[in-house]
Every structure is written in structure tokens, then in C-alpha cells.
């Protein structure tokens, strides 16, 4: 049926779309499609909370279906109301498997649209949680090539928590942020058989140790500049995914100090530009090696 048959619901506050399990169906989980979700949300102009879990099983040969599903996310995110306070979005996992490599342009479009939606909701947003979602490096504060903001300052007066787990980060050119080693890429190319009931076999999930440090600098510069305008922020958690050994945690403690910690392998160390964006001294970072390399810094937070 056409979505035009739906009536506007003015009193609905929160909408949750989560996985539904049918115990009599061997396929188990079923999902409502992203396009259908946005058709419904379009008729709920005053919602403050939208939870979307979009992971549903499919096989790698369904490339056109995957592309259509992916396009529905960016197209729909542009119509979300600016009244959103809580926005948890869990999309489908994307890896550097052989069959998903042609989807770069689709994912880049998704990343740009999700970023626009988040910034448009800045006046009301309280909690932001993204999982398995494509993001641009500078999604919180767009930057030029020199690392300077390109848009007017966005204020986030109510934002308290940011959680970014298993996110796929993209450069401005639409390239992957991290890559497998040459040996791992060669192994991906030889995969011929896909396991029944799984998106990809283990061989299509190589670790991705090859990173461009400058790209990560850009990510954290953008994040640091945005944080300066989040007066109620209490915590940030960032982890690109199991294939990349990098975790960033930020928390504000009583007394208005903040602690920022980067844990990584191979080593990532914030440079002076990242330090300036966050408002701490590059020389003030503490270094430790606990299986992974850890850089931590405590500083006074100046968030207005």
C-alpha cells in the first residue's frame, strides 16, 4: 500500500524499530526496511526519539538489493524532524569484502546524509548512538583541506553522550579509512565459496592494520572543534570496528576537567593540531603500553 494512506500522528513521542524473531521460521530475524521506516516517521512530525536497527541477513550475491537498501538510509534521513533528542541507529555491518567494494559511492552518500541529519538536530539532540553506520571523517564539524571549519559553528546545547561503535569512516574522496595488508587483500580476491547463512566467510574479514595517520588526525580535529560547543557533554566512545585496533574515550568529570584516551595498535598519537582542537597541550599526554599503545591526557574542558 502507498505511504500516502498513512495519517499524521501528532502525539507520538518515540518510535523504535528493532528486530523481530519468529521462532517458527528457521531464518529467525526479520526486519522492516529502512524506506518503510522513513515513510512512517514522515507522518510523526514531533517525535523526540527514533531507534533504528537495520541489520538483516542476506547473501553477498544480492548486490543490487544491498545497494537499494543502502540508498534508502541517506534518502530517508533527510526528512527526520529536528525535534529528535535520542537517535540510536544500528545499520548493517560493512567490511572490505570483495562483493561490497563496489558500494563505496552508495556508502559515501549515506555518510554525508547522516552527518547532515545529525547537525540539523543539534539544537535538541541529547543522545547520539551510531553502530555499523557509515560516517565522513569530519561529520561533526566539516573541515577544509587545511583542517579549518567550512560551515558556521553548530551549537549542541543538550547533547550529553556520543557512542560510535563499529562505524565505517570515509575520507572526503570516498575512500576507506583503513585497509587490509596486501596479503589479506590477495586472500579476499581468491574467495570463491560463501558459507550458507552468512554474509561473508572468515576470509573476507581480515584485520586492517594499514592506516593513514593524517586521516585520523582529521577525524579527531573535527570532533574536538565540535566538542567545544557541547556544554552538557559527559562522554564520547569511538571504535571503528573489530578490524581496526583503535579506541577513543572521552569523559568529563566533576570540576570541569576532561580525560581523553586513545588506545591503538599500530600506534596513533594525537598531534599538535588535534591538541589545539581539543584544548590541551600536546606535551601533556601520558604514554603507556598495555598490549596496545595508550595516550591519555587530562585537561580543563572549555565547552560553551
- Mean pLDDT (the chain) is 75
In a domain, 264, yes or no: no
- Give a yes or no: residue 115 inside a domain: yes
Residue 112, in any domain of the structure: yes
Is residue 185 domain-resident? Answer: yes
Q: Which domain holds residue 45?
A: 3-192+209-245
Which carries the bigger pLDDT value, residue 161 or residue 117?
A: 161
Domain count, the chain: 1
| 289 vs 275, higher pLDDT | 275
pLDDT above 60 for 103: no
Specify the 3-state DSSP secondary structure of 285: coil
The pLDDT score that the predictor gives to residue 290 is: 76
Give residue-wise pLDDT tens across range 217-239: 999 999 999 999 999 999 999 98
Q: Tell me whether residue 287 is in a domain.
A: no
Establish if 253 belongs to a structural domain.
Answer: no
Q: Please report where in the chains the cell 580535529 appears, as a residue.
A: 221
- Please indicate, yes or no, if residue 250 is contained in any of the structural domains: no
% residues pLDDT > 90 (the chain) = 24
HSE-up (13 A, CA, CB side) for residue 32: 15
Return the pLDDT at 17: 75
* 292 touches 263 (CB < 8 A): yes
CATH classification of the domain holding 106:
3.80.10
- The answer to whether the CB of 220 falls within 8 A of the CB of 248 is yes
What is the CB-side half-sphere exposure of residue 129 using CA atoms within 13 A? 10
Stated pTM of the model: 0.74
Is residue 135 domain-resident? yes
- Distance spanning both ends of the chain, measured CA to CA: 48
Average pLDDT, stretch 78-94?
A: 72
Question: Tens digit of pLDDT for each residue in 161-184?
Answer: 999 988 766 555 556 666 666 776
H helix runs in 133-271, sequence order? 182-189, 213-227
Amino acid at each position: 500500500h502507498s505511504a500516502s494512506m498513512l495519517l499524521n500522528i501528532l502525539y507520538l513521542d518515540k518510535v523504535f524499530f528493532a528486530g523481530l524473531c519468529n521462532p517458527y521460521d528457521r531464518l529467525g530475524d526479520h526486519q522492516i526496511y529502512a524506506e518503510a521506516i522513513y515513510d512512517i516517521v514522515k507522518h510523526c512530525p514531533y517525535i523526540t526519539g527514533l531507534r533504528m536497527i537495520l541489520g538483516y541477513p542476506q547473501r553477498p550475491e544480492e548486490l543490487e538489493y544491498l545497494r537499494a537498501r543502502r540508498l534508502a538510509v541517506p534518502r530517508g534521513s533527510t526528512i527526520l524532524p529536528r525535534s529528535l533528542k535520542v537517535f540510536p541507529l544500528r545499520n548493517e555491518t560493512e567490511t572490505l569484502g570483495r562483493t561490497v567494494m563496489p558500494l563505496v559511492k552508495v556508502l559515501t552518500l549515506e555518510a554525508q546524509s547522516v552527518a547532515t541529519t545529525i547537525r540539523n538536530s543539534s539544537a535538541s539532540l541529547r543522545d547520539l548512538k551510531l553502530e555499523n553506520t557509515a560516517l565522513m571523517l569530519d561529520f561533526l564539524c566539516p573541515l577544509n583541506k587545511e583542517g579549518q571549519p567550512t560551515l558556521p559553528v553548530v551549537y549542541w546545547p543538550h547533547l550529553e553522550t556520543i557512542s560510535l561503535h563499529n562505524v565505517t569512516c570515509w575520507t572526503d574522496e570516498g575512500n576507506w579509512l583503513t585497509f587490509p595488508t596486501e596479503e589479506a587483500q590477495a586472500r579476499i580476491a581468491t574467495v570463491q565459496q560463501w558459507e550458507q547463512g552468512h554474509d561473508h566467510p572468515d576470509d573476507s574479514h581480515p584485520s586492517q592494520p594499514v592506516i593513514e595517520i593524517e586521516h585520523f588526525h582529521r577525524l579527531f580535529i573535527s570532533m574536538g572543534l565540535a566538542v567545544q560547543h557541547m556544554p552538557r557533554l559527559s562522554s564520547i566512545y569511538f571504535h571503528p570496528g573489530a578490524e581496526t585496533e583503535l579506541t577513543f574515550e572521552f569523559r568529563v568529570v566533576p570540576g570541569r576537567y576532561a580525560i581523553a584516551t586513545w588506545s591503538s595498535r599500530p600506534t596513533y598519537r594525537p598531534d599538535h593540531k588535534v591538541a589545539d582542537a581539543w584544548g590541551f597541550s600536546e606535551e601533556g599526554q601520558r604514554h603507556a603500553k598495555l598490549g596496545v599503545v595508550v595516550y591519555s591526557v587530562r585537561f580543563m574542558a572549555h565547552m560553551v
